Amino acid sequence: MNKLSIVVTVLLACLVSHSWAKIARVPLRAQANFTKTHDNIKAEKSILASKYLVEASTSTTATVGKEVLHNYYNMEYYGLMSIGNPRQYFNILFDTGSSNLWVPSVNCLSTNLACQNHNKYNSSASSTYVANGQNVSIQYGTGSMAGYLSTDTVRVDNIPIESQTFLEAVSEPGTTFVDAPFAGIWGLAFESISQGGVTPPLDNMISQGLLDEPVISFYLKRNGKAVQGGELIFGGIDSTFYTGSLTYVPVSVADYWQFEVTALKTQGVAIAKNFQAIADTGTSLIVMPQADYKAMNTLIGATDNGNGEAFVDCDKLSSLKNVNFIIGGTIFTLKPSDYISEISGNGETYCMSIFSYLEGLSLWILGDAFIGKFYTVFDKGNLQVGFAPVATS
């Protein structure tokens, strides 16, 4: 072949493969030089309570309310998506622990800082908008997220999801989201826990035949200071992101991405056996029942501050031991550097264990401290979750 025909052949191959590859790769971004504060953790736990303990979060409104001015939810990972025609862009938190898509509305209250600080969806400016108008509210510890449903084309990495219904938020709770680097949240869990009975975007992507495979996978970079935060893949798995093979376990209850963990062990002691856990990209923490939290702190020499946060002496990090999760017959090891997080406050840095608890919650929540260490596949087609160690470059 001459040069020109090679170029033409390659071009054609690219065009053909592109029209068939139904995969959306969403670069995830992280906030540069982000160090959590005590208030970030508090906000995260308030969000977790609203997701997993609906009644408890309602009843704690009063106490949390006193501190709303400092209650910020600054998750590190978010990506870009658009709504409407022409496209209106939003930074969004991709959250496997909830099932609704919401963005701030152009009709949000002028007094609502969280909404005013971010991009707002303007339905009048979109030719593909279809009105719905049903009111929906989601209760958070710091107040409620209120708004109404609208329908439009939602795009992620150029894949158009037609007739996607989402929540246009007109009021966001307290100051939880004011400083968040993302405007809204894209829930990736199951329809059964979707507020307003809305079909989640992932379900529509699958039913509209937009994905090669009915899976999503998360690669979260844990190199702390970088802006490059990893990648979320809709419709596929990238084996260059992990080493060895994926260990799959069945989804036990298809509300959240819930599955059974065989055991959690450290220093030869089984802290817990045969328990139910949820893989949740919307939190940085690992949440466990209170009794297990106490046992864990005793073993790693961490001290509780009275608020369900445990701290270790930063000088003693080198003496800490690994923690092993046994899932589907495979051992998943977290090193001390994986489960100790730096927290800043009063001009100082503290070493906090990411193991935490929420009073009244018996489920375990495995957040980014786990998902960042283990590439995670959320397989809707086969109702299973897969994990493999992230390849370190």
Ligand X SMILES: *[C@@H]1O[C@H](CO)[C@@H](O)[C@H](O)[C@H]1NC(C)=O
Under the rule (CB under 6 A), what is the footprint of ligand X? 32-33, 106, 122, 124-125, 135
95 is catalytic: yes
Element (H, E) at 11: helix 3-20
For ligand X, which is the closer residue by CB, 101 or 115?
115
39 is catalytic: no
* Least spacing, CB of residue 125 vs ligand X, in Å: 4
In whole angstroms, what is the distance from residue 391 CA to residue 221 CA? 10
For ligand X, which is the closer residue by CB, 225 or 335?
225
| DSSP letters for 104-145 | EBTTS-TT-HHHHTS--B-GGG-TT-EEEEEEEEEEETTEEE
- Contact 185/282 with Cβ under 8 angstroms? yes
* Least spacing, CB of residue 122 vs ligand X, in Å: 4
* Least spacing, CB of residue 31 vs ligand X, in Å: 8
* Least spacing, CB of residue 388 vs ligand X, in Å: 31
What token pair was written down for 365? 């929540």
For ligand X, which is the closer residue by CB, 11 or 125?
125
Q: Around 370, how many Cα atoms within 13 Å sit in the side-chain half-sphere?
A: 28
For ligand X, which is the closer residue by CB, 125 or 270?
125
Q: Which of 39, 152, 203, 280 is catalytic?
A: 280
How far CA 187 is from CA of 94, 203, 354, in Å, comes to: 6, 11, 23
The separation between CA 146 and the C-alpha centre of its own chain, rounded to angstroms, equals 21
Q: Which of 95, 152, 203, 368 is catalytic?
A: 95
Cβ atoms within 10 Å, residue 59: 12
Q: Around 263, how many Cα atoms within 13 Å sit in the side-chain half-sphere?
A: 10
The separation between CA 121 and the C-alpha centre of its own chain, rounded to angstroms, equals 22
* Three-state SS at 371: helix
* Least spacing, CB of residue 181 vs ligand X, in Å: 11
Element (H, E) at 309: none
* Least spacing, CB of residue 218 vs ligand X, in Å: 24
* Least spacing, CB of residue 135 vs ligand X, in Å: 4
For ligand X, which is the closer residue by CB, 80 or 106?
106
- Contact 300/321 with Cβ under 8 angstroms? yes
In whole angstroms, what is the distance from residue 300 CA to residue 65 CA? 33
For ligand X, which is the closer residue by CB, 209 or 347?
347
What token pair was written down for 31? 């906030």
For ligand X, which is the closer residue by CB, 148 or 355?
148
* Three-state SS at 385: strand
What token pair was written down for 247? 């260990």
Catalytic residue positions, numbered: 95, 280
